Amino acid sequence: MEMAEREEGSEESPPEVEIPEAVVETARRARRVVAVTGAGVSAESGVPTFRDAMTGLWARFRAEDLATPEAFARDPATVWAWYVWRRRLLEGVRPNPAHEALAEMSSLYPEFALVTQNVDGLHQRAGSTDVIELHGNLARDRCEVECGSWPGRTDEEGPPPCPACGRRLRPDVVWFGELLPSGALMTAFEAAEQCDLLLSIGTSGLVEPAASIPRVAHASGATVVVVNPEPSGPPGERMIHLRGPAGIVLPALLTRIREG
């Protein structure tokens, strides 16, 4: 799928996007759909992608060096400051047309599961419900020793003490080397095994076990549609790449599905 070039000086209407008929037909026939999103779905909201989040003050770090329990143990103030910086970024952004298209798409199917690797809460803000958050949510903190306190959110210089037990609070996200919430992960893999169509949107597919979800769907007979402006692997049977930004491609796909 190619993006139509935008003529010079054209009004601000988004570039035309043609969606291959095969994708439209598959999306219209599907009954059980899974959408798996990564940081790219929030890029057009102005949220740096996970690998782009290492810019400015954080350019000297790698995400894998900050988003780990070892980093938090070694330098809690720096890790906490990175999360407060990312949280503050989120205060100034809003869902983009990709989030909105996914929220609308869910009502078109008898079964629709939205699985996200993101921790920005933008799917929920766009109106999606029952979002399966594999990696937690930046808006929440939790007690480091999980004493049962769930203080919601604190932005003090940090990390602040848990109000219930006095140990440290930490962001309620899954760090590298930590297990994902078992319920969320099981639900995501079950949905992938049973779906007709899986949309893999805005992810580099580097982080496991989330990266295996599209593979499980494909192995179970589903069609996998990848939405990403970057080239992805060679197309294959039941594997289609819609090359373009999610904020353009998903609304175009939604329009075509509705025309049917």
Which stretches of the chain bind ligand BV8, using CB under 6 A?
38-40, 43-44, 49-51, 64, 67, 117-119, 135, 173-180, 202-204, 206-209, 227-230, 245-247
C-alpha closest to that of 111 among 24, 196, 210, 22: 196
Cβ distance to ligand BV8 smaller for residue 14 or 32 = 14
What are the residue numbers of the active site?
A: 135
How far apart CA 251 and CA 254 sit, in angstroms, is 5
Beta pairing class for 169-173 and 136-143: antiparallel
Beta pairing class for 136-143 and 132-133: unpaired
97: CB partners within 8 A, 6+ apart: 44, 247, 248, 250, 251
CB 167 within 8 A of CB 72: no
How far apart CA 202 and CA 209 sit, in angstroms, is 16
Q: How far is the CB of 88 from ligand BV8 (least distance, A)?
A: 14
Q: How far is the CB of 185 from ligand BV8 (least distance, A)?
A: 9
Cβ distance to ligand BV8 smaller for residue 122 or 180 = 180
Cβ distance to ligand BV8 smaller for residue 165 or 211 = 211
Comparing every residue's Cβ against ligand BV8, the nearest one is: 40
Q: How far is the CB of 181 from ligand BV8 (least distance, A)?
A: 11
How far apart CA 40 and CA 42 sit, in angstroms, is 5
Q: How far is the CB of 146 from ligand BV8 (least distance, A)?
A: 16
Cβ distance to ligand BV8 smaller for residue 143 or 227 = 227
